[in-house]
Structure 1
């Protein structure tokens, strides 16, 4: 059993230390940090402007009351936190729009990053010129000879230019 356990641990170490797994982990960490930046951009800068334009103070707090429980008046429900406290079901469209905006910004940034990386890879591939052969084999003696040779220096056979 101990041999199987050590084998499993070794297999996991090999898996975890592969370059692509570490790259993926770094990508996830950077992505999470980037998501926080985008969420702050949307919540702290964009949505207050949209709220100002639409007449609401905080767009994240925009909602419709779906149903009022008995004993609760509509004027009592002044915010999402009060609605939750009073067990009032709400349709939170402001929060949904904020989340969709978050997603769209991240998607656009990722699109442009992938597009840029693909362009860099294309440029890099163009820079790597194909290797042009400088030698060929003599069809008679099979010796390596210069590609421009018209006669084999080893067996003195005349070569066609097309060979």
Structure 2
């Protein structure tokens, strides 16, 4: 089989296309959740915490004090932006929670098929027949 025909067979598999669709939809879904977190949830959390903007939380490693993160970055100061880390953790938790809810709703709408009992093996049927014949009176 040539390389081109192997590649065609690989691409034509349903799993590859399903995975590609899932990645694209997942990326778009991540943008939606990030916009929701940045625009709706984090301002409320910041207001509840006294007006804190998590994206502006940082520690300057050079020992100087800066008015804000932009000033520290303009001075080329090494900074640890722990606020961005907190924001990313909240994004992750919200994305995971929403995916959990979607999967839970999907599973509720599409219950797993009931397991069909496998037919007993021929040997089992024969042994049952022998057992039943031995139980009959008069033998």
Residue 136 of structure 2 corresponds to: none
Stretch deviating more after TM superposition (57-66 or 40-49): 57-66
Equivalent residue in structure 2 for 1:83, among 49, 72, 75: 72
| Mapped pair 1:113 → 2:108 | no
From 100, 103, 113, the equivalent of 2:92 is: 103
Aligned residue in 2 for 1:93: 82
Indicate conservation of the 8 Å contact 1:62/1:92, yes or no: yes
Structure 1 residue 26 displacement after superposition: 0.5
Greater relative contact order (Cα < 8 A, sep 6+): 2
- 2:101 and 2:46 map into 1 onto residues whose CA distance is 29
Contact persistence 1:61–1:94 (CA under 8 A): yes
- What's the counterpart of residue 48 of structure 1? 43
**One of 108, 113, 136 as aligned partner of 1:125:** 113
Choose between structure 1 and 2: higher helix proportion.
Answer: 2
Distance 2:78 2:51 in 1: 20
| TM-superposed deviation, 1:58 | 2.4
User: How far is the alpha carbon of 1:124 from its aligned partner?
Assistant: 4.0
SS at match of 1:87: coil
- Please give the alpha-carbon distance, in whole angstroms, between the structure 1 residues aligned to 2:119 and 2:97: 41
**Structure 1: which 5+ runs fail to align?**
134-138, 140-158
CA contact (8 A) 1:50 1:59 kept: no
Do the aligned partners of 1:56 and 1:62 also contact (CA within 8 Å) in 2? Answer: no
Residues 12 and 49 (structure 1 numbering): CA distance in 2 closer, same or farther, change over 3 Å?
same
How big is the shift at 1:91? 2.2
The two structures have a TM-score, normalised by structure 1, of 0.63
Q: C-alpha distance in 2, partners of 1:17/1:78?
A: 56
| Correspondent of 2:62 among 49, 60, 67 | 67
Which residue of structure 2 lines up, in the alignment, with residue 146 of structure 1?
A: none
The runs of 5 or more residues in structure 2 that have no matched partner are 121-125, 134-139
